[in-house]
Structure 1
Amino acid sequence: MIETKEKIRLGLKENWQQFTLLVLVNMMVGGMVGLERTVVPLVGTEEFHIQSDVVVFSFIIAFGVVKAFTNLISGVLADKYTRKKVLIWGWLFGLPVPFLLAFAPSWNWILFANVLLGISQGFAWSMTVNMKIDLAGKKNRGLAMGLNEAAGYGAVGLTALLTGYLASHYGLRPQPFYIGIAYTLVGLLLSIFVVQDTRKFAQLEARQVSTDESAHKPNLWWVFKETSFKNKNLFSISQAGLINNLNDGMSWGVFPLLFMSMGVGLEGIGWIKAVYPVVWGVGQIVTGPLADKIGRKPLIVWGMFVQVLGHVVIGFEWFQPLTSGLIGSVLLGIGTAMVYPALLAAVSDTAHPNWRASSLGVYRFWRDMGYALGALMAGIVGSFFGLEWAVHIAGIITFISGIIVWIRMKEAIA
């Protein structure tokens, strides 16, 4: 391993304590999103009596847009103020969220909670990603991202299951949201007192990379153009990330309402909502290191196609509603587990360490804009053609996205 006079070394083994701590912190971050997966769409329809699908899904749109723009600036802020400071800011923005979700007197307050949650997630999750990449070095980057996303999305799924259980026994509010208070307090305290900043590790890696025209410190607009459309690899990755989260945004809003209309109870919906992110999360423990071994592109392409199969199972109701929902969610989870760490690692492979944090921010901007686009698409399509067609449309778009990666992306790792 590379080493400096200050004994700064790159690698998971060399930095396992800080890496493990960041995994724990990201579990708290993911749990905050899991608070909303099962219950909040039902709060809109059952408690606030909202009839419009677009209005019900507006909390996802607000979350996705705000998180996307926060991702965009998070890398710049991290380079200016350190990763640790931005992580702490993320938790401070998240502190009011569980209280607002539990006691909001109107839907507008739910929307405000999701604005804060979007900022919180954009800062906190982005920093756990950047900090793990800083520590891991290039050799174990796929494994690092697999462990990071496994922790975060595993917590999303388990929290979705727990909130569904609590809602079925105690009602939609406030009890399901109390666990969010614990997440924010534990995450904030760990980030302030135990987590260490990792920017010096990125600086070390930058010194080991051969200098070329892109190795300078470019401005955000240059990085935005390079990541969004100028670089073929980064374009392919960014559009795949957007469509991947379009699926998640669609399922986030559609599944509770769709399966409730089919007669599935709250606990059943909780299981359907939990299976997707749990399989997605746990699966990345395998797919992360697999991306280091076989490359990023095969996992991205075939992961998108497996997600398409999940849409087919759910959208055409091959089984009883609960069974169809569970099998389809497992397939969506497997496909997403294949895609997620490979996409993050592929961005890191292509972007120079000097502008990697900003490039990851741009990628995550497009990826998380998918939440908003997926919810908006689902709301519009659902209002005119029914919620099943929202599932069909998402499947068609996902298939096209996989073809784009297949044709345009090239491996960037040695």
Structure 2
Amino acid sequence: MSTRANRAPVLGLRENAAQFALLVAVNALVGGMVGQQQTVLPLLAESTFALTGYAYIFTYVAAFGVTKAIANYFAGTFSDRYGRKPVLLVGWLFAIPVPIMLIVAPNWAWVVAANVLLGINQGLTWSTTVVMKIDLVGPDRRGLAMGLNEAAGYGAVAITSLLAGYLAEQHGLRPAPFLLGLAYLALALLLSGAFVHETRDHAHLEATQHTESEHGHLGADLTSRQIAIQTSLKEPALASASHTGLVNNLNFGLSWGLFPLLFATADLTTSQIGLLFALYPGVWGAGQLITGGLSDRIGRKHLITTGMAVQATALAVIAASSGFTGWAVGTALLGAGTAMVYPTLLAVIGDIAHPLWRGRAVGVYRVWRDLGYAVGAILGGVVADLIDLRAAVWAAAAASACTAVLVAIRMYETHQPLRHHD
């Protein structure tokens, strides 16, 4: 195994198929750590801890989003400085207490604290697997690589949400659903520690082959501050991607805390709520198997614009519905719109960022994107408390529609369709 790990790096999906597949599996376990709690925690808040204020219930989503956003930044910085694999392993160490804390939590503060640790875990591990896959595949297949990565992660969120809902209905809200997290954690530590190889040398190899893009190149020697400014504000494609990512995860954060409570107003069973919630990341995850590679062939911009418009439509359907069928249509449509956007935004970052500061650019983008969890939780909680649950969904629909318009105006196309494979 050491011979394989130390041999000269080669770029390409086919050339790195074994490591790529292993990283896909690891990212599925990352997603599963979130899925174990998504269906269960809002119900636990009401039934076990007697919490009724929506803003208070959503504190765990906000805590998760803020800590994940911060961890994303450090994941990018440390992976460029020290390598990808050490960051991945440290990320998994932060997850060790999470399932246990959720099982034994005597009050809601323990749940919030567990989600702080989970946010650090998700930021370090998910960011690192993203960067590692981009390292391995090289410039031509970034969209496909991100589609496979995000499909694995959010497919696992969906499947685990469904399993957790079933276990909660059959065996109670605790401890059964969180035993899934313990199993995922043990397997992830084994795979990441024993079988995953470092990929930073692949990025260095790509840097030696890197050429100027037709849109102009930002250069290889930007400081971390300059990278943050370009990715957040100045560079039109990078900044548009960061803004769109925030609104996309605003929708996800709002759905995480709000959808189970909205669905419960129709007296649905726990397993039905779990199925409705699983539809969103399920369609999202499966759709990325198509949309990631599609962006390599047709370009990025139109998929992102269309995807945000579809999300706005889906949220309007959910807000206007009051039963299982309408909500199922809306959540499936929301997943389809998200599938168009999610891997494509990451591919945009890979298109523009120089290989030598790619990790930091991905980290800054993911800071903005994952702050959307907190913004969605706060927005959803405040609007739901002031007006009602449906008003919070309408607010998210409006934000998504505005984002579609802004992307259409500001973002340029960052990737030309594949030519040398025609």
Does TM, scored on the shorter chain, surpass 0.5? yes
Q: CA deviation at 1:357?
A: 0.9
1:215, 1:352 within 8 Å by CA — same for their partners in 2? yes
Q: Distance in 2 between matches of 1:45 and 1:222?
A: 45
Aligned to 2:278: 274
Q: Distance in 2 between matches of 1:409 and 1:81?
A: 33
Give SS of 2:356's match: coil
1:308 aligns with 2:308: no
Aligned to 1:256: 260
Aligned to 1:388: 390
Q: CA deviation at 1:213?
A: 7.2
1:325 to 303, 324, 327: 327
Give SS of 1:410's match: coil
Aligned to 1:29: 30
Aligned to 1:44: 45
Aligned to 1:188: 189
Q: Distance in 2 between matches of 1:41 and 1:213?
A: 46
1:245 aligns with 2:249: yes
Q: CA deviation at 1:214?
A: 3.3
2:217, 2:352 within 8 Å by CA — same for their partners in 1? no
2:283, 2:336 within 8 Å by CA — same for their partners in 1? yes
Q: CA deviation at 1:367?
A: 0.3
Aligned to 2:400: 398
Aligned to 2:369: 367
Alignment of 1:332-347 (within 5 A): 332-347=334-349
Q: Distance in 2 between matches of 1:166 and 1:217?
A: 51
Q: Distance in 1 between matches of 2:183 and 2:37?
A: 15
2:103, 2:178 within 8 Å by CA — same for their partners in 1? yes
Letter in 2 for 1:321: G
Q: Distance in 2 between matches of 1:261 and 1:174?
A: 25
Letter in 2 for 1:306: V
Structure 1 residues 210, 28: CA separation in 2 closer, same or farther (over 3 Å shift)?
Answer: same
Which shifted more, 213-222 or 162-171? 213-222
Alignment of 1:62-81 (within 5 A): 62-81=63-82
1:199 aligns with 2:224: no
> Residue deviations 1:308-327, cap 9 Å, x none?
1111111011xx51111111
- Shift >4 Å, 4+ stretches: none
Q: CA deviation at 1:217?
A: 3.3
Alignment of 1:80-91 (within 5 A): 80-91=81-92
Q: Distance in 2 between matches of 1:6 and 1:272?
A: 47
Alignment of 1:87-236 (within 5 A): 87-210=88-211, 214-236=218-240
Q: CA deviation at 1:7?
A: 3.9
Q: Distance in 2 between matches of 1:213 and 1:186?
A: 41
> Residue deviations 1:69-113, cap 9 Å, x none?
110111111112210000000100001111111111111111110
Letter in 1 for 2:390: E
Q: CA deviation at 1:306?
A: 0.8
Which shifted more, 368-377 or 35-44? 35-44
Letter in 2 for 1:64: G
2:80, 2:356 within 8 Å by CA — same for their partners in 1? no
Which shifted more, 202-211 or 338-347? 202-211
1:299 to 289, 292, 303: 303
Aligned to 1:357: 359
Give SS of 1:180's match: helix
Q: Distance in 2 between matches of 1:144 and 1:28?
A: 17
Give SS of 1:355's match: helix
Q: Distance in 1 between matches of 2:377 and 2:326?
A: 21
Give SS of 1:105's match: coil
Q: CA deviation at 1:351?
A: 1.1
1:58 aligns with 2:62: no
Q: CA deviation at 1:6?
A: 5.5
Q: CA deviation at 1:115?
A: 0.5
1:288 aligns with 2:292: yes
Identity of aligned residues (%): 50
Q: Distance in 2 between matches of 1:368 and 1:220?
A: 19
Q: Distance in 1 between matches of 2:7 and 2:95?
A: 35
Q: Distance in 2 between matches of 1:412 and 1:308?
A: 24
Give SS of 1:354's match: helix
Q: Distance in 2 between matches of 1:16 and 1:53?
A: 45
2:62, 2:374 within 8 Å by CA — same for their partners in 1? yes
Q: CA deviation at 1:207?
A: 0.9
CA RMSD of aligned residues (A): 1.2
> Residue deviations 1:270-301, cap 9 Å, x none?
00110100110011000010000000001100
Q: Distance in 1 between matches of 2:302 and 2:369?
A: 19
Q: CA deviation at 1:216?
A: 3.0
Q: Distance in 2 between matches of 1:216 and 1:305?
A: 35
Q: Distance in 2 between matches of 1:337 and 1:278?
A: 10
When normalised by structure 1's length, the TM-score is 0.97
Letter in 1 for 2:380: A
1:215, 1:354 within 8 Å by CA — same for their partners in 2? no
Q: CA deviation at 1:210?
A: 3.2
